[in-house]
Amino acid sequence: MTLAKDPTATSSARLKQISIVGAGAIGQLIYHQLSSAVNASSVSLNIISRAQHSKQQKLTFTDLNNVESTYIAELVGQDDYGQQLPKTDLLIVCVKAYQVVAALKILIPMLSSHCHILLLHNGMGPHLDVANMLKGQSLTLGTTSQGALKQSAWHTKQTGKGITQLGTFNTESIFNSQSTVNTKNAFHPQKAFSQQRASKQRVLPESLKNILLSAIPHSQWCVDILTMLWQKLAINVAINPLTAIHHCHNGQLADEQYRDIITAVVIELVNVAKAEHISLALPAILDKVYQVIALTAANYSSMHQDVQHQRTTEIDAINGFVVQMAKRHGIATPHNQQLVDHIKHLELQYQR
C-alpha cells in the first residue's frame, strides 16, 4: 500500500520512515503495533540502537491473548546514523524520561528539519528542554497507559490495555507562564514561536497522525495534550513512588492507610497545575487515580520495577517535576518532596 497523498504536507513523498528510539517494553510494544499497521504500506520502520554497527534483530511479542508474533527488525547502529536519520520522517522517542535529552542531543542534529518528533515517556519535563533543541522539527507529546513487560531483551509481553493520548506541543500555550523564568530547562518561547510561525511543517501531518492512531489501539488525538499529561502525572505521582517505597502491587494503594498521602500529593499537583494554567478538578483526578489503582491492581508500577531491578527511576520527571514547577511559582509541595527524597535515598543504596 502506498500512502495516500497528504493534503497538509508539502510533499507526501517524504513520508517514508518511522524510527523508534528506545527498545524498552513500550518501544517494542509500539514497534509491534506499528509493524502490523505499516506492513503493507511504503512506510519503513526501524529502531535506532546505541550499538556501533547496524544489524537485524529478531523481536518476539506476546499479546494479551498469549499469541506470539516475531519480527525481524532493522537496528540502526551509530555507523549508519548519518545515512538513516536524515531519512526519518517520524522519530518516536520511547527512552526513559531522564534519557530523552541526552539521546536527542545526538540525534536531532542528524534529523532533517521536516522530521517530526514524538516523545512517549512517563512523567513530564524533557519536552521543555527538547523544545529548545529543535532544528525545525515539530514536537508531539504522548502518554500511554498500555502495560508491557520485557520477558528478555528482545521479547516483550503486553500486560494491559490502556489509552494512548497524543497531541502537538503548542509552544504558544506556555508563552506567558514560562517567559520570565530562568531555570536549567527554561523554555525560550520566542525562538520556538518564531520557528513555529516560520514553518507550517511543525505539526504532525495527517498521514503520520493516521498511521499512529490506527496502529495504536485506544489512541486518541488531544488538542490539549498538556492537560492530559498533567492528568497522567497525577496518577504517576501517587502510584509510582508509593508502590516502590512500600514494595507493593498498585492495588494495595486502595488501602485506607495510603489515602492521606495520595490525597496530599494530588492536591499539591493540582495547585501547581493551576499556576501553570492547567485546570484540573481534584475530585475527578482522585477518582481517576483510584480507577487506575483498581484497573492495574495486579501490576507492579514501573518505578517499583526500576527500584527492584536497581535502575535509575523516573522520579525527577514525576514528583520531581511537580516540585520543580512549584518552585517557579513559590508553591509548597512538601509531600511530593518527601517522596522524591525517599526514592532518591533508595536509589543511593544501589547506585553508590
Residues that bind ligand PAF (CB under 6 A): 122, 145, 235-236, 239-240, 250, 292, 296, 299, 301-302
Non-local CB neighbours of 58 within 8 Å, separated by 6+ positions = 70, 71, 72, 73, 154
Instruction: State the nearest-atom distance from the C-beta of 164 to ligand PAF, in Å.
Output: 12
DSSP class per residue in 18-62: EEEE--SHHHHHHHHHHHHHHTTSS-EEEEE-SSSS-EEEEEEEE
* Rounded distance between C-alpha atoms, residue 172 and residue 186, angstroms: 14
Nearer to ligand PAF by Cβ, of 62 and 122: the residue is 122
* Rounded distance between C-alpha atoms, residue 55 and residue 117, angstroms: 24
* Residue at 78: amino acid letter: Q
Residue 33 near residue 61 (C-beta atoms within 8 A): no
Residue 278 near residue 329 (C-beta atoms within 8 A): no
Say what angle helices 189-198 and 126-133 make with each other, to 10 degrees: 60
Nearer to ligand PAF by Cβ, of 235 and 315: the residue is 235
Instruction: State the nearest-atom distance from the C-beta of 301 to ligand PAF, in Å.
Output: 4
184 counts as catalytic:
no
CA angle 312, 316, 318 (to 5 degrees): 110
Residue 149 near residue 27 (C-beta atoms within 8 A): no
Nearer to ligand PAF by Cβ, of 165 and 196: the residue is 165
Say what angle helices 319-329 and 225-245 make with each other, to 10 degrees: 120
Joined grid coordinates for residue 143 = 502518554
CA angle 250, 306, 162 (to 5 degrees): 45
Nearer to ligand PAF by Cβ, of 192 and 318: the residue is 318
Catalytic residue among 96, 157, 209, 232: 232
Number of helical (H) and strand (E) elements in the chain, helices listed first: 13, 11
Instruction: State the nearest-atom distance from the C-beta of 314 to ligand PAF, in Å.
Output: 8
Nearer to ligand PAF by Cβ, of 175 and 290: the residue is 290
Instruction: State the nearest-atom distance from the C-beta of 298 to ligand PAF, in Å.
Output: 10
Residue 97 near residue 317 (C-beta atoms within 8 A): yes
Q: How far apart are the first and last CA of the chain?
A: 53
Instruction: State the nearest-atom distance from the C-beta of 352 to ligand PAF, in Å.
Output: 25
Nearest residue to 313 via CA among 352, 344, 269: 344
Nearer to ligand PAF by Cβ, of 41 and 145: the residue is 145
Instruction: State the nearest-atom distance from the C-beta of 177 to ligand PAF, in Å.
Output: 25
Nearer to ligand PAF by Cβ, of 112 and 263: the residue is 263
Instruction: State the nearest-atom distance from the C-beta of 300 to ligand PAF, in Å.
Output: 7
Q: What are phi and psi of 197, to 5 degrees?
A: -65, -40
Active site residue ranges:
232
